[in-house]
Structure 1
Amino acid sequence: MGDHRFGHNNHVRKISEPAIIRVTGIQGQVSNMDKLQDETAAIGRRERNRIRNRKAILTSARDTFRELGYDRATIRDIVQRSGLATGTFYNYFTSKQDIFATLLTDFLTRLNDGLVRNRRSAHTTEDFVHRAYLGLYQATARDPLVYELARQNDRALRNLFGSNLLELAMSSLEEDVRDAMERGLLPSVDYEYLCASFFGVAYEMSLSVARRAHNAPESAEQEAERAARFSTVLFLGGLPELAKLS
């Protein structure tokens, strides 16, 4: 009479083709998500490794340049101190000049960002002058090694950037001085001479701050504040006012 294995009361039903496609699609999405997570994790590991290697090379270069000087230091010296392979160095930097420029560019970027932010938020003449000095001295105190390194290798710095460190660090000062004059924070005097006066005080003071911060890092911030106050009083009031500080 016919095959009753698939009779009316049998609960086995044929799965429709669209349902199979949906299940297959979901499985594919899950597989793709797992694959994406694995790739993201791998990228995360590679990025962390890249950051770690770059930091190790920069730290090694800082110490090597400080110990041997820029001219005497070699890539081999830097690599040996870092504990990485020579090939790894060239994954990040092309030459000794390249890594020196990177150290200084990182320092100057942080410095100029701080200087501009500090000066443009000033509301009085004393505040403007104090913030200008404080930004420079704080950056110097926080990274005295790079500052001293740049000062010791002024010729290499000029070859790379065409200027010395302080000229680069204070490159935005003239613009801010003009702005301060327009806002009435500074008198309308020769801004070129005024900027040169800033440079004159800051140049040697910043080196003293770097030296003291290097010798006593625990008091680096206080040293920057002290130097900024000293420079501000000297700049605005001269020696008579400076004598009152003590």
Structure 2
Amino acid sequence: MSNSAESLAASGKRARSKAANRRAILSAGRRVFARIGFDATTVRDIIRETDLAAGTFYNYFKSKEEVFEAIAEDSTYRFRTRLSDVRARATTFEDYIQQAYHAYFSFVAAENEEAIRMGAPHMALIGVRVDTPEMLAIADEIRSDLDHVLSASGAPVTDIDYLTAAAIGIAREMGDHMLQRRPVDAVAATKFATALLLGGVREVSGKPL
């Protein structure tokens, strides 16, 4: 093997090792946050959950807050792909709201399945609680989607910012409550959230959607 090939192989191995270490830290952080909560968690708790040395941890993150935000960013990024699918399928305002809520609540339930099964008292999904660039991008996309489908349907809702805030707020609050119920029922949460938001829009507009 030539020196160039050996160098490329070594570089690829290092990249894979770095990615694996980062994944290990994030997985450990998610488990610890779910088990004892963010406030009680220390960096040492996260490190103990991995096979990595303390020095290796600090090569990737400076604090538990950075781990928290990285988990948030990752969760939000993966949900964003689901929202893109909803955008591609939905044909009406009501259809978009129903599909978006179902995508979100299903995602939240799946993300927390292991924590719920283990009886962890603190839910593991934290992506929606942090104003990361990914979360801000999603909020902008939802605002654009709502504006588009409302315009297409002719519904006279003028304050798109309030509507976007309401749609996201309902998802956040109901998602948190859904995770505390047994069984965790994404379908029931979707039906309730959809009816709540659409009912509010109808009341404001004074017209059927």
What TM-score does the superposition give when structure 2 sets the normalisation length?
Answer: 0.72
What TM-score does the superposition give when structure 1 sets the normalisation length?
Answer: 0.63
Q: Which runs of 5+ in 1 are unaligned?
A: 1-32, 239-246
Query: What is residue 96 of structure 2 aligned with on the other side?
Result: 128
Residue 179 of structure 1: how far off its partner (Å): 1.4
**Does residue 97 of the first structure (1) align with residue 97 of the second (2)?**
no
Cα pair 1:134 1:225 within 8 Å, conserved: yes
**Does residue 210 of the first structure (1) align with residue 179 of the second (2)?**
yes
- Aligned 1:5-154 pairs, distance under 5 A: 34-144=2-112, 148-149=123-124
- Alignment: residue pair count: 190
Helix, strand or coil for the counterpart of 2:52? coil
Cα pair 2:111 2:124 within 8 Å, conserved: no
Quick one: distance in 1 between partners of 2:165 and 2:19? 39
Cα pair 1:115 1:132 within 8 Å, conserved: yes
Q: Which runs of 5+ in 2 are unaligned?
A: 116-121, 201-209
Query: What is residue 176 of structure 1 aligned with on the other side?
Result: 145
Q: 2:186 aligns with which of 190, 200, 224?
A: 224
**Structure 1 letter corresponding to 2:23:** K
What do you get for the CA RMSD once the two structures are aligned? Answer: 3.4
Larger RCO (CA within 8 A; separation ≥ 6): 2
Cα pair 2:109 2:179 within 8 Å, conserved: yes
Helix, strand or coil for the counterpart of 1:183? helix
Helix, strand or coil for the counterpart of 2:2? helix
Cα pair 1:122 1:131 within 8 Å, conserved: yes
Deviations 1:9-61 (A, max 9, x none): xxxxxxxxxxxxxxxxxxxxxxxx53333223322322222222111111111
Of structures 1 and 2, the larger Rg is shown by 1
Residue 74 of structure 1: how far off its partner (Å): 1.4
Quick one: distance in 2 between partners of 1:67 and 1:106? 19
1:207/1:53 Cα in 2 relative to 1: closer, same or farther (>3 Å)? same
Cα pair 2:108 2:125 within 8 Å, conserved: no
Residue 133 of structure 1: how far off its partner (Å): 0.6
